[in-house]
Amino acid sequence: MQRVIATPKPAGAVQAMLLMLAAVLPVMGTLTMIPVMPVLFNHFGAHPHAQLLVPMIITVPSISMALIAPLAGVIGDRFSRRRLLIAATGGYALFGLLPVMLDSLPLILLARMIMGIADAFILTTANALIGDYFSGSARNRWLAIQSGVGSIVATLIILASGFLGTFGWTGPIYLYAIAIPLFLGLILFTREPVARGEENAAVSTPAQAFPRGQMCLISFITLVSAVIYFIEPLQISQVFSQLGMRNSSQIGIATAIAGIGVPLGAWLYGRMAKQRIDKQLMQFYAIFGAGLLFISLASNHISAVMAAFIAQIGNGMLIPLMLGWVMKVLPAEHRAKGMGIWHTFFFLGMFLSPVGVTSMTSVTGKLQDTLLIFAVMTLLIAVCLALSSSRTAVRKITAN
């Protein structure tokens, strides 16, 4: 078994940017197809199971990631994380672009499923390598930057997807070609962290146990947070459509404008990174809950975009918040395994989020009424966290 330490040969901005961009690829796999959902339904509407299978074009990669991420993490702790990342990025490019040559819905779903497997290896190894290359405040800084850069890239992708969607449902798929230059950059400019546990290892430290209890708590909070986190990005295009916005390009532009809130949220995380985790989570739930509340009450395009912008500020805080927490808890030799478990629950939340929204909407009869219910639930969680945090502070003062 190859074990790594958290302080490898010095890495800099080039390595960090490559790893951050690699971590964006799986999210891009979902976002790319959202603006063309109406086009997909039009193209595959004759398929007998179109209502079930067409939405799965978006969700199938997340299912693959949720199922494979723990295995990817275990493999990442045993073998070269860098080589796994490079191979997965190449596979992502290949199977991401493959649907351009397909017109069979089941075959497209199969290609998307395999791309999701590549996504699982990309996420676990890329984030583990960020944890290996950097530590402490430098790691928190890069995680915040990752969220900001990721949001900017995602905004550009949504804009491009909306534009390319005007040429047909296959237009946005060509964006997956971005993985090709990234694949080459990873080969040329990254390296595996220094190995230990071998005869010529320069550093020898006792192995640390995997933090099962802490990871159980983190996994539960991740699942709940992910279900809430994905409500806005997965449902906002439908809200825009129901408010009268029909063109995929317009939906893409509106979604991209709202996405500007994500780098602001990442900046806010950087300001609060040293706070207790309960305070950080409370701020996420409060800001996102407020945004979701305003989305549920929006009556026109402008108010919906402004509300989505607020929700995206909260979303910009969550990813670096959770990744920073996970990396702080995990020993270096278990980092890929732990990241695999974290991504399983995160993308399980991505899969469950639209299921929950759809089930609730079948009862309420209107998407915005469903979002109102989720907004109230989110704000109640924020209130509970605020009360818990206050009690903790009072106990500390009393003890002193």
SS3 content of the chain, % helix, strand, coil (to 5): 80, 0, 15
pLDDT in tens, 14-52: 888 899 889 889 888 877 887 787 788 888 888 888 877
Taking phi first (over 0 means left), then psi (-120 to 50 degrees means alpha), and beta for anything else, what does residue 113 get? alpha
Beta bridge partners, 7, equal none
pLDDT in tens, 156-170: 887 788 888 888 889
pTM of the model: 0.74
Q: Which two tokens stand for residue 342?
A: 């974290």
pLDDT confidence tier of residue 137, bands split at 50, 70 and 90: confident
Residue 4 pairs in a beta bridge with: 195
Taking CA 131 as the corner, what is the angle to CA 127 and CA 136, rounded to the nearest 5 degrees?
Answer: 135
| pLDDT tens per residue across span 51-93 | 778 878 888 888 888 889 889 988 988 888 899 999 999 999 9
pLDDT confidence band for 393 (50 / 70 / 90): low
Cβ atoms of 40 and 57 within 8 Å: the answer is yes
Q: Is the model's pLDDT at 100 over the cut of 90?
A: yes
Q: Which helix (H) or strand (E) holds 170?
A: none
Which tens digits make up the pLDDT trace of 253-291?
888 888 888 888 888 887 887 788 889 999 999 999 999
Interatomic CA distance for residues 90 and 184, integer angstroms: 9
pLDDT in tens, 315-345: 889 988 888 888 888 887 788 888 888 888 9
- From 40, 149, 141, select the one nearest 99 (Cα to Cα): 40
Mean confidence (pLDDT) of the chain: 85
pLDDT band at 355 (very low <50, low <70, confident <90, very high): confident
The pLDDT > 90 percentage for the chain reads 36
- Are residues 119 and 234 in contact, defined by beta-carbon separation less than 8 angstroms? no
* 237 vs 345 pLDDT, higher one: 345
pLDDT tier at 133 (50, 70, 90 boundaries)? confident
In whole angstroms, what is the distance from residue 219 CA to residue 95 CA? 29
Q: How confident is the model at residue 201 (pLDDT cuts 50, 70, 90)?
A: very low
Categorize the per-residue pLDDT at 399 as very low, low, confident or very high, splitting at 50, 70 and 90.
low
Contact 197, 1 (CB under 8 A): yes
Cα–Cα dist 292/91, whole Å = 36
